[in-house]
Amino acid sequence: MRHTRIAIALAATSLTLGGCAAFGLGERTATTGDTERGGESWLLVQQGQATPSPTASRGAPTPTPEASLSVPAVDPRCTKLWPRTDPALIPVEVTPGRGSLRVDWPTQFSSNYRVAAVPQKLVTGPQPEPVWKEVAPGSGCAMSTTLTGLTPGAAYIVWLDAPNTGRRLDGTRNLYSGRSGVVYPK
């Protein structure tokens, strides 16, 4: 019984070490063009010498260039948060001066602008047409103009119009007008 176990162990070892050659299947050498059994062509690979494993080559150290960055000064008008009392209107900020009103607003869609100080004095009959001041499109974050020739202490509402703001995909106009509350030049 003990000899049988040893014989089985030796047979298993020879199969493990010999592989297909133990059954006589590995003695045949395939060559290029050998299609005797209907298989594909085989290429005879000859034994060679092992090549050394690649090693990382280290280059010479080079100095890292220093990054130089110059940032232009931030325009304070670009960091301003414009209060929106009405989401459909361009916010307008008015600062009274001597017989004048300074008007500031955020730039909208590269449009040109029209600004008017509309008197709030009651008049009988038709209201006078507002006098519009044309303002060219700006390139900054905010726009500004000063309306002059106003009556000190009189009540005005500033109107802002941006006629070339274009339309959204749904056909509605982009923000194109704004107005202030009642303001009084000094």
Give 29-39 pLDDT, tens digit per residue: 444 444 455 55
What is the pLDDT, as a whole number, of residue 138? Answer: 83
> Could you give the percent of the chain with pLDDT greater than 70?
64
User: Domain extents for the chain?
Assistant: 76-183
Calculate the average pLDDT of the chain: 78
What is the pLDDT, as a whole number, of residue 96? Answer: 98
Q: In three state form, how does the secondary structure of 44-110 look?
A: CCCCCCCCCCCCCCCCCCCCCCCCCCCCCCCCHHHHCCCCCCCCCCCCCEEEEECCEEEEEEECCCC
Higher-confidence residue of 49 and 131: namely 131
**How far is 165 from 28, CA to CA, in rounded Å?**
85
pTM of the predicted model as reported, rounded to 2 decimal places: 0.57
**Average of pLDDT values for 150-175?**
90
The band of 59, judged by pLDDT with boundaries at 50, 70 and 90, is: confident
**How far is 43 from 47, CA to CA, in rounded Å?**
13
Q: For residue 13, give the 3-state DSSP assignment.
A: helix
- Strand-pair partners of 34: none
What is the pLDDT, as a whole number, of residue 101? Answer: 98
Give 96-149 pLDDT, tens digit per residue: 999 999 999 998 888 899 999 999 998 899 988 999 999 999 888 899 999 999
**How far is 15 from 19, CA to CA, in rounded Å?**
5
What is the pLDDT, as a whole number, of residue 30? Answer: 46
pLDDT tops 60 at residue 44:
no
CATH 2.60.40.2150 for domain 76-183, yes or no, is: yes
